[in-house]
Amino acid sequence: MRSFYFTKNTGWDVRRDLFLLTSDRGNLEDLSTRRHTANPAPLLLVGPETALQCFDAVENLTQIAKILGKFFCEPSPRAL
Domain extent, residue 16, equals: 2-71
User: Is residue 77 in a domain?
Assistant: no
Q: How far apart are CA 67 and CA 39, in angstroms?
A: 21
More confident of the two residues 34 and 20: 20
In a domain, 25, yes or no: yes
Per-residue pLDDT band for 78 (boundaries 50, 70, 90) equals: low
Asked whether residue 78 is assigned to any structural domain, the reply reads: no
Closest C-alpha to 61, from 38, 27, 28, 30: 38
Domains contained in the chain, number: 1
Structural domain contains residue 79: no
Answer whether residue 80 is part of any domain.
no
For 28, 36, 49, 54, the CA distances from 72, given in Å and listed in that order, are 30, 28, 15, 12
Mean pLDDT of 31-49: 80
Provide mean pLDDT across the span 37-61.
83
Q: Give me the amino acid identity at 49.
A: E
- pTM score: 0.61
Instruction: Read off the pLDDT of residues 11-22 as tens digits, 9 standing for 90 and up.
Output: 778 788 888 888
